[in-house]
Amino acid sequence: MDLNYCHKLVTGSYTKVKSHLLGLSGNGVEGCKTISDQVKAQLQREHDKAENLNARKAMDTEEARICNTASWFRFKTTKKEQKNTLEVCFNAAGRYELDKECARMFYAFALPFSLVKNPYFRQFVSKLANSKCVGYVPPTYNRMRLSLLEQEKAHVDALLQPFRDSWKKKEVSLCSDGWTDRQKRPLINVMAASGYGSMFLKCFDASGNTKDAEYVASLFQEVIDKEGAHNVVQIITDNAGNFKAAGLALETKYPHLFWTPCVVHSVNLALKAICEPPVNSTQYDQCKWISSLMSDCNAIVNFVLNHGKALDIFHSYSKHMLVKVAETRFASHFIMAERLFLTKSALEKMVLNPDWKTFRKTAVEEKADHVKECVISDRWWDKVEYVLSFTNPINNMIRKGDLDAPCLHLIYDMWDCMIEQVREKVFEHEGLDAITGKSSFFDVIQGVLESRWNKSNTPLHSTSLYGSLLSP
């Protein structure tokens, strides 16, 4: 076959000619080098048009075949069978019964509806539906809590093995935190964090034990012995005296190991010292009004949430929910105050609603009057806004430090930026010059923040900062 554009002789079918002209590979023919782009584009359009035409013809043929088959089945079935064709094909009655049994299981055991979205639940149901295990019976209570649980634990350990393998090259940091479960048991969690990711290691039940430095150090020692002392380079805990003493003791035993106080806990303690100052502290005179303001916010939230009538009135004006203070962190006080400020208009309408008068001549009349007095006071709201403005940089640092990402090299800069942003807000509120101004209130706040920084600062912060500056 002699081609018009390059006069090349090609032996074969239309496929080789098409591959040559359109530059398609895989058919043993090189693309044409003399054909113009315009001609090539036109050929491509003609080729696509022909392919689409062939595809439509094939679809029409298949539809005709399906229709003929369906007609044959309709001819073979009786009128009664025709009526139930869809029901038989999809087994609608059987599916409906299975759905009811599944829903009844959820209702009877108060299972969350979100379990339906759980991929493991859907995978189990799918395998059960497609399984050939006729007469399958779920595992027994004892098998579920014993042998199957042990097998799943071994499966999870196998999935986490790559984490442990990475510690030989990148080392690992141990993170610990104490908390109390619903049964009021004091628990101490130990997590592992590295460049590969984070994973849970162990939880210790400290019930019946004195959580002194020696006991805490023994818990860390148990984990270090299991994971390998050569793999552990850092221990991160809160700033409590027992954890600090335990960390320093382990530093002495292992010279390559660092104890680092939790930055988030340090900032949280600084925030608490500012907004709940001890009576004998140097910042008490300057900061006691903040403590009173937080008490008012807490009183408003508790009153509304604990009295159904007040809550009903509030919900008639607001789609948002009020939030209570969490015991774990003091910063939750400001989350509560932020939500109050967000619902300011709804709260004002609530106390001015005629139904609010039902609290008169009741046991809670005094509390209701106090709530109303605060909510309708513009000066009170101005104080809330001011506190939220200069504490917002501190809360932002808590949020950034609490992310699941390495930020040790950013701590120095984060502290400096936080203090500077607090200074800007205070000076702006007091109408002071940013350069020559002097604020006794800010001096007290700065003193609290720097005091907490000096207690939590370690050589590791400066080392990581220096390393980050040298990195490309």
pLDDT in tens, 334-359: 888 899 999 999 999 999 999 999 99
User: pTM for the whole thing?
Assistant: 0.67
Higher pLDDT, 67 or 287: 287
For the chain, percent of residues with pLDDT exceeding 70: 78
Burial state string for 266-299 with b = 16 or more CB within 10 A and e = fewer than 16:
bbbbbbbbbbbbeeeeebeebbeebeebbebbbe
What's residue 220's pLDDT?
A: 92
What's residue 223's pLDDT?
A: 92
Higher pLDDT, 161 or 92: 161
Q: How confident is the model at residue 224 (pLDDT cuts 50, 70, 90)?
A: very high
What's residue 240's pLDDT?
A: 83
Higher pLDDT, 39 or 202: 202
Mean pLDDT of 116-145: 89
Locate tokens 């090609």: which residue? Answer: 10
What's residue 426's pLDDT?
A: 92
Mean pLDDT of 134-147: 90
Q: How confident is the model at residue 64 (pLDDT cuts 50, 70, 90)?
A: low
Q: How confident is the model at residue 425 (pLDDT cuts 50, 70, 90)?
A: very high
Can you list the positions of beta strands (E) in 64-196? 172-180, 186-194
pLDDT in tens, 303-333: 999 999 999 999 999 988 888 766 656 677 8
Q: Which of 296, 287, 324, 276 shows the shortest CA–CA distance to 381?
A: 296
pLDDT in tens, 65-117: 544 544 544 444 444 444 455 555 567 788 888 889 999 999 999 999 999 99
pLDDT in tens, 405-416: 667 677 777 888
Which DSSP state fits 131? Answer: -
Taking residue 458's Cβ as centre, other Cβ atoms within 10 Å add up to: 15
Q: Which amino acid is at 306?
A: N
User: How far apart are alpha carbons 144 and 150 in whole angstroms?
Assistant: 9
Mean pLDDT of 207-218: 89
User: How far apart are alpha carbons 216 and 220 in whole angstroms?
Assistant: 7
Mean pLDDT of the chain: 82
What's residue 313's pLDDT?
A: 93
Q: Which amino acid is at 68?
A: N
User: How far apart are alpha carbons 21 and 36 in whole angstroms?
Assistant: 10
Q: Which of 411, 101, 417 shows the shortest CA–CA distance to 261?
A: 411
User: How far apart are alpha carbons 378 and 442 in whole angstroms?
Assistant: 24
Q: How confident is the model at residue 424 (pLDDT cuts 50, 70, 90)?
A: very high
Residue 296 predicted with pLDDT over 90? yes
What's residue 311's pLDDT?
A: 92
pLDDT in tens, 227-276: 888 999 889 888 888 888 998 899 899 988 888 888 888 888 888 888 88
Phi, psi of 302 (to 5 degrees): -65, -40
Locate tokens 């793999």: which residue? Answer: 231
What's residue 170's pLDDT?
A: 83
Mean pLDDT of 279-304: 90
Mean pLDDT of 381-404: 87
Domains, the chain, in order of start with CATH, read 80-133 (no CATH), 152-260 (3.30.420.40), 271-470 (no CATH)
Tokens of 11: 């032996």
Higher pLDDT, 379 or 28: 379
User: How far apart are alpha carbons 188 and 205 in whole angstroms?
Assistant: 7
What's residue 118's pLDDT?
A: 93
What's residue 107's pLDDT?
A: 93
User: How far apart are alpha carbons 450 and 391 in whole angstroms?
Assistant: 15
Residue 428 predicted with pLDDT over 50? yes
Mean pLDDT of 351-375: 91
What's residue 471's pLDDT?
A: 46
